[in-house]
Chains A and B, each alone.
Chain A
Amino acid sequence: MSQNKSYFVQSFTIFAVSIAAFLVFKSILPKKLFSESTVNSKNVVIDSLLLEALEEDKNAADGDTLSNQPISFTAVDGITFPDEKFEDYKGFQHLIQFYEKLFQLETKHQGNVRIAYFGDSMTDGDMIVQDFRANFQNKFGGQGVGFVNITSESAASRNSIKHEFSGNWKTQSYLNVKKPRSPFGVNGHVFFANDTSNVEWVKYKASNLPNLSELYNPTLFYGKSNNRSGKIAFKVGNDTVYKKLSPNKLVNTLVLGNTTKNLKLDFIKADSIPVYGLNFDDGKGVHVDNFSNRGNSGLPISTFNTQVMRQFHEKLGYDLIVLHYGTNVLNYGSLNYTWYEKRMKNVVNHLKECFPGVAILIVSTADKATKYDMDMKTDSAVVPLTKAQKKYAIQSGAGYVNLYTLMGGDGSMVKWVEEVPASANKDYTHFNYRGAKKISSMIYNQVYGGYEQFKRLRANRKQPKPVEKTTDSISVKTDSVHVE
């Protein structure tokens, strides 16, 4: 009997003492069992320019003069959007030329509009962008997935086009190569068919999604080389068609037959010819190219070769460039983003030089959660980064979408992960298909809201100027991929 009691008391004692022991251990042993170490390996995708920039600008001062003043705009085509406050800056003013093109398309069914959407793993596998594209194409017309790479790390997860390629392509990416053998294409990559013993191939199959159900007017983009004997082969019906590559200019195009559902290209004796990718579009309406790249901070865009980009611009005619970055800049401990702000301002200016007349839209980082003590909370770097992104948007004359506030601000990522059904993944960083759709609608709705406001302002402007002359002449004149 007393024996029995003592065992109860014994187990109670063990519990009580164990709690005391825990308190002692907690104070003397490390707080975390596993450090959040990162691996250094050539196989881990890391943006080399980002690392360099971090190294250089460790101690830059954080000068803030922008956030107190109201932001006012100068008229474009006689249209001036009202002044904005720093807190809710959207910068629609800087999208006027893009809006004008949309307006011509909507009212006169003339011209076409092209958007380049640059991003990181957030837009991997055409996430977010496919919904963004669908929104535009449903409203303004247009068919086709736009520009697609030759090889892609995320081809398998892409639903908007089925994309396969042989393993022997030589790929160079602006993410980790500073001096490519030939300049990078507009997708930040260049591909070579240098394996002479085996044929390199690439295969595309249209999806069943609305507006993307065919490979419209497939057109190959490739660069300059001394190799004059390169050919490509593809099948039309039962016949194999051979086409010679003539790599004379910095950027060359080759139309590959008619609109089709499937396309497989073999590259024959094409070594040293820089290949960039294929474009699929029907020539009318809106087209959106997804240039996503895991691990990208946005800084690699500064390595774009101006001459090459201008030739891309001549052929494709971009009206809007979206820069959707930030996820990869969050994890570096510092909350001072002056270094990033400065460099991204240069990136935006460089893009304006490469693509004259293009409008630029900065999409901020989304919310991301990190564990503090035992709870998942918004990462302390998110707000400073969105601010830095807003600053370079203002300074370089670009539109701005604050995804963090659109998502719901503080703690929103935790909600998106925990809600049923979930909208974001358990890494508290990336969205799933459901979340990506929501995000893209948020971006689209803001851009479209600006367009509606633009239409009202346009109708009320005092002296309507002839618009056709002032818009970017380059894109209008030579939007001619499919004319060749």
Chain B
Amino acid sequence: MQDWFAQNIASLFTSINAETVQNWFVYNPKEPILFNTGLFLGLFLVFYSIYIALKNTFYPRLVYVILFSLFFYYKSSGVFFLLLVGSSIVDYNLGNLVHRTQSVLNKKLCLAFSIVLNLSFLGYFKYTNFIIDTYNSVAGGHFEFQKIILPVGISFYTFQSISYIIEIYRKEIEPTKNYVDYLFFVSFFPQLVAGPIVRAKDFLPQIYQKLNVTKEDINRAFLLIIGGLIKKTVISDYISINFVDRVFDAPSAYTAFENLMASYGYAIQIYCDFSGYSDMAIGVALLLGFKLPTNFRTPYQSASITEFWRRWHISLSTWLKDFLYISVGGNRNGTFAGFLFPALFFFGLIVWGITQSPISNIPLIVAVGATVLFALTCLLSKEKERTLFTNVNLMTTMLLGGLWHGASLRFIIWGALHGMALAVHKIIMEFFPSKKDAKPSFLGTVWLVVSVLLTFHFVTFCWIFFRAKDFTTALELINNIGKVTFDWEQWKIVGQGYKNVFLLMAIGFAWHYLPEKLVEKMQGIFKALPIILKAILLGLVYWLVYATASAGPQPFIYFQF
């Protein structure tokens, strides 16, 4: 026992020297702090004990959390924490200005100024090189790329700041009582770097409430943390490094079946990554007594693309709906901004088709086909004008939503595919409305399964554009998938080669499609456990994370059939 202690516990402390301690507190661009790291766990434990001690205070607690949040942001993004502080001062004052201004016109001007300012910050960091690249390739310019580092999470906190100002403008909230409260909202570390995007109207009231956690909250928090850790670290990270990344790096070096599996793999990888990290954020916030909105509700169970967007990255899609879709006209009005982006997109698509036509006619056919299809979704509708506004504004939302994910043409294509699908789904629903109160029947179940499968495959197809490093690679991968033939023997051999990866994928999908009742039952068992067993279970999950992460990349396998 003594030996064991010396080896495992005492060594933890003897190995600490000045340098390791420095590493805990100094920003290292190679190791940004993440919830799933041992460092965060250690820091959080210390932070949390003092947090509990400060629980009944107000400003000391707020300032304490702000300091920790800024430190957390400094550990993820270095000196950019100053940017966060600076932009929050500006936004806080702009919020007050919007609130105080009486005349409608001036209010509008203030609002426009704040949004333009925030978006230009985001635009500078995120899109400068994309704009230079586009300009160079379209107009043949020779501007040099700028060396701009994207501050972590800037897309998220910019959106939160915008929501704060717009909600003040719409009189949905009052401005915070002072700057400290506002900085607390913007910098709150659980959702700071990767969401969910917390809305001012949901969050601000919680600041002023008495801090409180219930038994139910704690159980939910630990369930979210456990689930998030497994999704993010065990499933997503492992299949990405050992399989998905390799195939997407060089699709043609792999068999058709591996290409297909890699696209399924990416579908579960990105879900586990995004939702796992969101869940951890929600869980950590809950432990501090703050409720963040649910961000993912098993999106691949959706039976239509419209439903998918109600279940995928909910905080982002509602943000886009409330502040972008509604702002450009929603389903009632057509605005210049609403028509601009879809018009540019379809114009660009057809120009691209024409430039490609000396080599192949397919791009032009695709371009014209897509434009006609989109036009048809409006023309076939009974309420032409209203549908036109809805679809065009939806398209704008999806195009810009795509671009928000990253500055690249691929994300625009991804957004456009979803925008088109939403429009197509709307027109189908108009012709074949689903019966709301239909009795469960065998055929109904079959149709539901087919719809879920169809939706899932469409989403997976779109992910290829999201993930592939360029358009050519995406088409290469799709082309390779086209060559898949049913060959059970071959599949079995590939399966043996990637047995760990495929096993994790299977677990990921099975978990995703588990019936809700079963999940609730399992959660019930966890909730009923004594505290000590909950803790041991959590410790076991850490080990799982550790043991998966320490497995090196699997050796390379090349199949030949």
List residues of chain A with CB under 8 Å of any chain B CB. 4-5, 7-27, 29-36, 38-39, 41, 43-45, 121, 124-125, 153-154, 156-157, 294-295, 331, 370-374, 418, 425-430, 432
Q: Give 1 or 0 for each of B546-557: 1 = CB within 8 Å of chain A CB.
A: 111111111111
Contacts A12-B52, A41-B497, A295-B558 known; A425 to B7 CB distance under 8 Å? Answer: no
Contacts of B497 in A (CB 8 A): 39, 41, 44
Flag whether B218 is at the interface (Cβ < 8 A): yes
Contacts of A33 in B (CB 8 A): 544, 547-548, 551
Flag whether B380 is at the interface (Cβ < 8 A): no
Contacts A8-B55, A25-B543 known; A14 to B538 CB distance under 8 Å? Answer: yes
Give Cα A430 to B253, complex, Å.
11
Flag whether B250 is at the interface (Cβ < 8 A): yes
- From B40-48, B102-110, B442-450, the one touching the partner chain is B40-48
Q: Can you sample 22 A-B contacts with CB below 8 Å?
A: A7-B214, A7-B218, A14-B222, A14-B531, A15-B44, A18-B537, A18-B539, A20-B539, A22-B542, A22-B543, A25-B540, A27-B7, A34-B548, A34-B551, A34-B554, A38-B557, A125-B252, A153-B558, A295-B558, A426-B240, A426-B249, A427-B246
- Complex contact B550–A7 (CB within 8 A): no
- Complex contact B241–A426 (CB within 8 A): yes
Give Cα A16 to B44, complex, Å.
10
Flag whether B8 is at the interface (Cβ < 8 A): yes
- Complex contact B558–A427 (CB within 8 A): no
- Complex contact A12–B222 (CB within 8 A): no
- Complex contact A432–B558 (CB within 8 A): no
Taking the closest CB of chain A, its distance from the CB of B57, in whole angstroms, is 13
Contacts of A44 in B (CB 8 A): 493, 497, 557-560
- How many B residues face the partner with a CB closer than 8 A? 67
Q: Give 1 or 0 for each of B86-120: 1 = CB within 8 Å of chain A CB.
A: 00000000000000000000000000000000000
Q: Give 1 or 0 for each of B23-34: 1 = CB within 8 Å of chain A CB.
A: 000000010000
Contacts A11-B222, A12-B49, A22-B543 known; A373 to B550 CB distance under 8 Å? Answer: yes
The residue from A7, A43, A425, A429 contacting B560, defined by CB atoms under 8 A apart: A43
Flag whether B423 is at the interface (Cβ < 8 A): no
Going nearest first, the 8 A-B pairs with the smallest beta carbon separation are A21-B539, A17-B535, A157-B252, A371-B552, A426-B245, A18-B538, A33-B547, A25-B543
Taking the closest CB of chain B, its distance from the CB of A165, in whole angstroms, is 14
Contacts of A30 in B (CB 8 A): 547
Taking the closest CB of chain B, its distance from the CB of A422, in whole angstroms, is 8
Taking the closest CB of chain B, its distance from the CB of A417, in whole angstroms, is 10
Contacts of B500 in A (CB 8 A): 34
Contacts A12-B52, A371-B552, A374-B549 known; A19 to B45 CB distance under 8 Å? Answer: yes
Q: Give 1 or 0 for each of B120-136: 1 = CB within 8 Å of chain A CB.
A: 00000000000000000
- Complex contact A428–B553 (CB within 8 A): yes
The residue from B214, B238, B534, B553 contacting A427, defined by CB atoms under 8 A apart: B553
Give Cα A153 to B280, complex, Å.
44
Q: Which of B510-560 contact A (CB under 8 A)?
A: 531-532, 534-540, 542-544, 546-560
Flag whether B480 is at the interface (Cβ < 8 A): yes
- Complex contact B540–A21 (CB within 8 A): yes
Contacts of B249 in A (CB 8 A): 425-427, 430, 432
Contact count A vs B, C-beta below 8 Å = 183
The residue from B217, B480, B550, B560 contacting A45, defined by CB atoms under 8 A apart: B560
- Complex contact A425–B245 (CB within 8 A): yes
- Complex contact A23–B8 (CB within 8 A): yes
Contacts of B538 in A (CB 8 A): 14-15, 18, 21
Q: Which residue of A11, A20, A27, A124 has the most chain B CB atoms within 10 A of its CB atom?
A: A11
- Complex contact A15–B45 (CB within 8 A): yes
Q: Which residue of B45, B537, B550 has the most chain A CB atoms within 10 A of its CB atom?
A: B550
Taking the closest CB of chain A, its distance from the CB of B559, in whole angstroms, is 5
Contacts of B496 in A (CB 8 A): 39, 41
Taking the closest CB of chain B, its distance from the CB of A155, in whole angstroms, is 9
Flag whether B9 is at the interface (Cβ < 8 A): yes
Flag whether B488 is at the interface (Cβ < 8 A): no
Contacts of A8 in B (CB 8 A): 52, 55, 213, 289
List residues of chain B with CB under 8 Å of any chain A CB. 4, 7-9, 12, 30, 41-42, 44-45, 48-49, 52, 55, 212-215, 217-218, 221-222, 238, 240-241, 245-246, 249-250, 252-253, 287, 289, 480, 490, 493, 496-497, 500, 531-532, 534-540, 542-544, 546-561
Give Cα A278 to B539, complex, Å.
62
Contacts A8-B52, A21-B536, A45-B560 known; A29 to B547 CB distance under 8 Å? Answer: yes
Q: Which residue of A21, A23, A36, A371 has the most chain B CB atoms within 10 A of its CB atom?
A: A21
Give Cα A15 to B48, complex, Å.
10
The residue from B45, B250, B556 contacting A157, defined by CB atoms under 8 A apart: B250
Contacts A7-B213, A45-B560, A425-B250 known; A36 to B547 CB distance under 8 Å? Answer: no
Taking the closest CB of chain B, its distance from the CB of A297, in whole angstroms, is 14
Contacts of A36 in B (CB 8 A): 551-552, 554-555
Contacts of A295 in B (CB 8 A): 558
Contacts of A425 in B (CB 8 A): 245-246, 249-250
Taking the closest CB of chain B, its distance from the CB of A171, in whole angstroms, is 9
Give Cα A35 to B490, complex, Å.
23
Taking the closest CB of chain A, its distance from the CB of B421, in whole angstroms, is 30
- Complex contact B252–A156 (CB within 8 A): yes
Contacts of B241 in A (CB 8 A): 426
Contacts of B213 in A (CB 8 A): 4, 7-8, 11
Give Cα A105 to B548, complex, Å.
57
Contacts of A32 in B (CB 8 A): 547, 550-551
The residue from B544, B551, B558 contacting A121, defined by CB atoms under 8 A apart: B558
Contacts of B493 in A (CB 8 A): 39, 41, 43-44
Taking the closest CB of chain A, its distance from the CB of B405, in whole angstroms, is 17
Residue of A whose beta carbon sits closest to that of B210: A4
Contacts of B561 in A (CB 8 A): 43
- Complex contact B480–A156 (CB within 8 A): yes
The residue from B55, B252, B539, B556 contacting A19, defined by CB atoms under 8 A apart: B539
Taking the closest CB of chain B, its distance from the CB of A70, in whole angstroms, is 39
Taking the closest CB of chain A, its distance from the CB of B499, in whole angstroms, is 8
Residue of B whose beta carbon sits closest to that of A373: B550
Contacts of A124 in B (CB 8 A): 253
Give Cα A309 to B86, complex, Å.
72
Give Cα A156 to B480, complex, Å.
9
Residue of B whose beta carbon sits closest to that of A14: B535
Give Cα A29 to B545, complex, Å.
13
Taking the closest CB of chain B, its distance from the CB of A23, in whole angstroms, is 6
Taking the closest CB of chain A, its distance from the CB of B44, in whole angstroms, is 7
Residue of B whose beta carbon sits closest to that of A369: B553
Contacts of B550 in A (CB 8 A): 31-32, 371, 373-374
Contacts of A10 in B (CB 8 A): 218, 531
Residue of B whose beta carbon sits closest to that of A153: B560
Residue of A whose beta carbon sits closest to that of B546: A26
Residue of A whose beta carbon sits closest to that of B543: A25
Taking the closest CB of chain A, its distance from the CB of B291, in whole angstroms, is 14
Give Cα A214 to B544, complex, Å.
56
- Having A17-B536, A41-B497, one finds 6 other A-B pairs with CB under 8 Å, namely A8-B55, A17-B532, A21-B539, A35-B551, A41-B493, A125-B250
- Complex contact A157–B253 (CB within 8 A): yes
Contacts of B48 in A (CB 8 A): 12, 15
Contacts of A20 in B (CB 8 A): 539
Taking the closest CB of chain B, its distance from the CB of A191, in whole angstroms, is 15
Taking the closest CB of chain A, its distance from the CB of B492, in whole angstroms, is 10
Give Cα A243 to B542, complex, Å.
70
- Complex contact A5–B55 (CB within 8 A): yes
Contacts of B559 in A (CB 8 A): 43-45
Contacts A11-B287, A34-B500, A294-B558 known; A23 to B9 CB distance under 8 Å? Answer: yes
Residue of B whose beta carbon sits closest to that of A295: B558
Contacts of A426 in B (CB 8 A): 240-241, 245-246, 249, 553
Taking the closest CB of chain B, its distance from the CB of A242, in whole angstroms, is 32
Give Cα A19 to B8, complex, Å.
13
The residue from A7, A19, A374 contacting B41, defined by CB atoms under 8 A apart: A19
